[in-house]
């Protein structure tokens, strides 16, 4: 549906948007003002096209939210579907998931940032939170298997470890910028800390 | 100045607040709406006292922001001043700082959460960001000394390591609740991950 947004209505010659650029602007406004505090007027003002032009193509702000969150969730879901995340030793699969999650975060940062702020006030937010929980359960399952394999510390709480590791990964949205190092170097640093810790062996 | 807030003006009998409870409400509103999106009307509505009653005691919302951020920053600053953080081996001082930071975050969670959202649009926010940077520099200095002592991995980037470790610590504001385990257990889990990593030794 958003694919139609590139056709700007004749009464609105001020600005043209690709579906991506309109979505990107909506995400910026949601992140800045909070989803609840954002109106379609705010998105229209930020995008430089009229509210009715936006409504011609999307049903409302919740559809924009769903498209944005789907983009982040599709990226994370694809991480779990990668061949290296699906077979092999659990500890290696876990490393692949962490490494690729850092890269998805770097590639889709505004969308992942929005996803991390979702608190569950609308059906779309409830859906997104459930998707995040499913991702966390899959990761916690890998941690559990890697402990059982004897590769990770015995006695580790898989859910707590998953929360701490993804707390670290997600915190990159707060400060990481492309000019602070490429995503691969960030992923190396995160993996080294998470698996090996800071202490010299 | 806020200490006067407990005296409610005669025209405002709806609700009484201690200085702490008024500040706590202001912090909740700032966190929910963003500082820029919050007006004194919003704080008055949330606290159940009139705007003029609040103005009688504080100059405005920036003073409330400063009091709230000072509370978080005083807590973190006290961490660096603890005897165990000031003398001994750098690696032990670092552990103390991380452990106590988790505990401050647990004790002052709303204030630390607000501090983490500050982006530097007002003089108070600029001041708070500078205080945070000074804290980060002190921690990075400890990391650097612990690497030089041979206790932490050679080749570690002290600033990057500090960002990652405090990214992890700060991410606790996103999900940790007192009913999810006591602060000491959380601090143990964070210290174990940060220093030892997940891998079995």
Instruction: Count the Cβ atoms, other than its own, within 10 Å of residue A4.
Output: 10
Into how many domains does chain A fold?
Answer: 2
CB B162 within 8 A of CB B143: yes
- Specify whether A84 is located in the same domain as A108: yes
ipTM above 0.85, yes or no: yes
**pLDDT value for A161:** 97
**pLDDT value for A126:** 96
- Specify whether A50 is located in the same domain as A79: no
- Specify whether B95 is located in the same domain as B10: no
Range of the domain at B192: 64-196
| Residue B88 placed within a domain | yes
Distance CA A14, CA A16 (A): 7
pTM: 0.89
- pLDDT tens sequence across B22-52: 999 999 999 988 898 899 999 999 999 999 9
Q: What is the torsional sign of CA B156, B120, B95, B199? A: negative
Helix B90-107 vs helix B61-81: crossing angle, to nearest 10: 150
Strands (E), A37-115: none
**pLDDT cut 70: percent of chain A above it:** 93
- Specify whether B53 is located in the same domain as B74: no
**pLDDT value for B6:** 39
Select from A32, A34, A168 the Cβ nearest to the Cβ of B164: A168
- Specify whether A86 is located in the same domain as A169: yes
- pLDDT tens sequence across A151-162: 999 999 999 999
CB A143 within 8 A of CB A156: yes
Residues of B in contact with A199 (CB under 8 A): 91, 151-153, 195-196
CA distance B81 to chain A (A): 23
- Specify whether B109 is located in the same domain as B70: yes
- Specify whether B54 is located in the same domain as B90: no
- The CATH code of the domain that includes B134 is 1.10.357.10
- Specify whether B23 is located in the same domain as B90: no
- Specify whether A39 is located in the same domain as A82: no
- The CATH code of the domain that includes A54 is 1.10.10.60
| Residue A87 placed within a domain | yes
Nearest CA in chain A to B181: A160
- Specify whether A32 is located in the same domain as A131: no
- Specify whether B53 is located in the same domain as B102: no
When pLDDT is cut at 50, 70 and 90, the band that residue B7 belongs to is very low
């Amino acid at each position: 549906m958003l694919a139609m947004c590139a056709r700007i209505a004749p009464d609105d010659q001020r600005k043209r948007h690709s579906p991506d650029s309109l979505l990107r602007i909506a995400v910026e406004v949601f992140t800045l003002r909070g989803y609840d505090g954002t109106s379609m007027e705010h998105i229209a003002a930020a995008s430089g096209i009229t509210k009715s032009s936006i409504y011609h193509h999307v049903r409302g702000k919740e559809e924009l939210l769903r498209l944005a969150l789907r983009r982040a969730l599709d990226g994370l879901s694809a991480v779990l579907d990668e061949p290296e995340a699906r077979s092999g030793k659990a500890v290696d699969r876990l490393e692949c998931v962490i490494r690729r999650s850092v890269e998805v975060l770097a590639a889709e940062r505004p969308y992942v940032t929005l996803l991390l702020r979702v608190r569950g006030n609308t059906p779309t937010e409830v859906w997104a939170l459930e998707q995040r929980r499913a991702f966390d359960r899959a990761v916690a399952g890998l941690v559990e298997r890697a402990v059982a394999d004897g590769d990770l510390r015995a006695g580790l709480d898989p859910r707590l470890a998953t929360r701490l590791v993804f707390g670290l990964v997600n915190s990159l949205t707060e400060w990481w910028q492309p000019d602070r190092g490429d995503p691969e170097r960030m992923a190396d640093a995160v993996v080294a800390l998470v698996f090996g810790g800071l202490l010299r062996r």
